[in-house]
Chains A and B, each alone.
Chain A
Amino acid sequence: MAASCLDEPDCFNLTNNIAGISFRVMGSTKADTVRLVNVILPGASGEFTDYSMVVTNGVIIPLNFHENQTQIVFEKPDGFDTLVLGYRVQSQFVSEDCGSKFVLSNLQVLEQTFDSLRLVNATLGTNDQARNIEVYRCPVTHVVAMQMRQLVGNSTSTQAAAVLIEGITADFLPDIFYPQSLVSTVYLPVNTSTSTTSYTFALPDGSTKQVVVNYTVTPQTRYAMCGEQPFVSGLELVNSEFDSAGIADDEKDQPRTTLLDPHDVNVYLFQCPNTNLARIAFKTFTTPGSTATRTDTINLSKIRTDYLPDPILYNNAALTTVNVPLNPAAIESTFYLDYTNGSIDTVALRYTTNPRTFFQACGSQLIFSDLIEFIEKPYVRIVKDSVQFPAITNLEIVH
């Protein structure tokens, strides 16, 4: 009896109708990242929303084991691609406990509209570990990747930073890239008709910063189905109005001067850190009368300061934290947080400042520490009395 129980198959995922499809770029061993609006399975009676508005480097598709082929439609922002898979379906009774299963075999590609495709395994799987098809697209060979970076902590190391910009324009196109966006890495086209392109970054404060690059364009037909393409190499940073900029290194510590796909970062744009940003976290008591708190979400209209002429607008944004800029020209700053519901919180801070040079290009910058309230409010708690960059929580407002 015990042996027969051990011999019985598990009843989970017996039908092997799972196809794994991964996305790749011709000429690269790296996985490609694809933005999908949806994956549609025509003929499906149920919903399939696993890949609605996602960015992914592969999909897992349940094939229709009631038929011997399945059509898969990939909806992308720029159009559609179709894949039709054919296979053999055989039924088999498994046991009284498990019922029946379907065995799919001999996977074939019947139709496809991709640039290229490879069947790597004709045996389908029973779970999301299935790997059957690699879909290849022609490489985009004229895009340069630029990344915003910021000094971290008290060292000279850097990390990617998110920067709010109004938009980026290239000197040869009318388009505005990344309008009113919070960006870390931007992907911008180079002008393949010349050997230089100039980019203008528009910032929220009305200022602009220009970046100019030089390069060499070599038209080539490396992949027959892609035709002749401009391959860009020899990238040089000619001019940059950012605090600092440089060509990024690859894994072998060599300058990444060739534009590749998938797009690895070619240019670093360094920004001197904002050393005066104190972070306020919003909290609420877990239960009335309790001292324990949890994160609270508030709707903030704007923040007024005692030294800036204009308020910092938040347009009723729902926030759990907010950064407030301490006045570098004084030892006290007062902030008035105007909430959407009409209430106002006042935060009055006193601090000490010390100059220090972390980054040559940034020169001497102030370090803010010894943070205290000079007008105490019952709803304000000081958590960390020194300002760090990137910002960490220095105080909590508890409602």
Chain B
Amino acid sequence: MLLPVVGWSQGNRLRDTLQLALDTIKQYRYIPTGVRVGVDVISPIQARFQDDFSGWEVTGDVDFHRYYLAVDVGHWARSFSEKDTSVYNNSGTYWRIGADVNFLTKDPDRNMFFIGLRYGRSRFTENLSVISSHPVWGTVQRDYSNNNISAGWLELTSGIKVKMWKVIWMGYTARFKFGLSTDRGREMLPHDVPGYGRTDRDTYWGFNYYIMVRIPFRKTLTIPSLKL
């Protein structure tokens, strides 16, 4: 007589336990499970082979379920000269902040294929020394500077981040930069914006390759296995 009553009670407890676990997972899924920081390897390679460029970039992101808050910080400097009639150099820092959406939601390692959006901002200084000649107005040498000039732009991003071994991750990000706004009210119009590129281009393509380390600070909650 008691056996059906006991079986019915165990089933209810199982269902209640499962529901509690699901509720707990849902409650805590948007709490970050770790932070990932990395360094761009393209910039130092570019600086190695390109005399007019030097720079570095670091990146970081933190997960909120399948959504990631991403931040990049970097620095670059460029210098150009044209047959001693024009000498240009700039130097400055930039940062980007934005969000990515991961489309590999079932991957247990949280490997990513993502699409994202960034807002970029740069503050930099540039200098230009010009010797200009004209058959009517003669030859004049002038120096121009833009000190602490700022610029902003938007980016559409896409890429992958893959767990290579334990906490080591690698991945790339392709960027479509657009919507550049700069301060055009100065005596010298800006030429090159760190983080964006040349100001005479309405859009720009960019690419970064990162080596990252992910620091977990809590386990990802999963549905527990029950012993009956």
Contact = CB atoms under 8 A, between A and B. Distances in A.
Interface stretch (B12-20, B115-123, B138-146): B138-146
A90 B136 contact: no
A43 B200 CA distance: 33
B81 A66 contact: no
A13 interface: no
Given A9-B200, A99-B83, A102-B132, A92 B137 contact: no
A12 interface: no
Interface string A83-98: 0000001111111111
Contact of A93 (B134, B140, B191): B191
B48 interface: no
Nearest to A11: B82
Interface string B196-207: 000011000000
A48 B144 contact: no
A47 interface: yes
Interface string A297-341: 000000000000000000000000000000000000000000000
Contacts of A45: 136-138
Nearest to A48: B136
A100 B128 CA distance: 9
A142 to B, nearest CB: 40
A132 B171 CA distance: 55
Contacts of A95: 80, 82
B188 interface: yes
Interface in B181-204: 184, 186-192, 200-201
Contacts of B132: 65-66, 100, 102
B85 interface: yes
Contacts of A99: 82-83, 85-86, 130
Size band of the A side of the interface?
Answer: 20 to 34
Contacts of A96: 52, 80-82
Given A44-B137, A62-B134, A97 B82 contact: yes
A333 B176 CA distance: 90
B137 A66 contact: yes
A91 B82 contact: no
Size band of the B side of the interface?
Answer: 20 to 34
A4 to B, nearest CB: 11
A46 B136 contact: yes
A62 B137 contact: yes
A46 B128 CA distance: 26
A46 B135 contact: yes
Contacts of B169: none
Nearest to A45: B138
Nearest to B185: A90
Contact of A100 (B86, B187, B190): B86
B82 A98 contact: yes
B88 interface: yes
A64 interface: yes
Interface in A28-72: 41, 43-48, 62, 64-66
A7 interface: yes
Given A96-B82, A102-B132, A91 B144 contact: yes
Given A46-B138, A64-B137, A91 B188 contact: yes
B128 A41 contact: no
A62 B136 CA distance: 8
B118 to A, nearest CB: 23
B204 to A, nearest CB: 10
B138 A93 contact: no
Given A98-B82, A102-B132, A103-B189, A93 B137 contact: no
Contacts of B134: 46, 62, 65-66
Most-contacted residue by chain A among B130, B137, B186, B187 (CB, 10 A): B137
A46 B85 CA distance: 20
A65 B136 CA distance: 11
A94 B188 CA distance: 12
Contacts of A100: 82, 85-86, 88, 128, 130, 132
A9 B135 CA distance: 23
Contacts of A9: 200
Nearest to B199: A92
Interface of A: 7, 9, 41, 43-48, 62, 64-66, 89-100, 102-103
Interface of B: 52, 80-83, 85-86, 88, 128, 130, 132, 134-138, 140, 142, 144, 184, 186-192, 200-201
- Name the 4 nearest CB pairs between A and B, nearest first: A45-B138, A99-B82, A99-B86, A92-B189
12 contacts: A43-B137, A44-B136, A45-B137, A46-B138, A47-B135, A66-B138, A66-B140, A91-B128, A92-B190, A93-B128, A93-B192, A99-B83
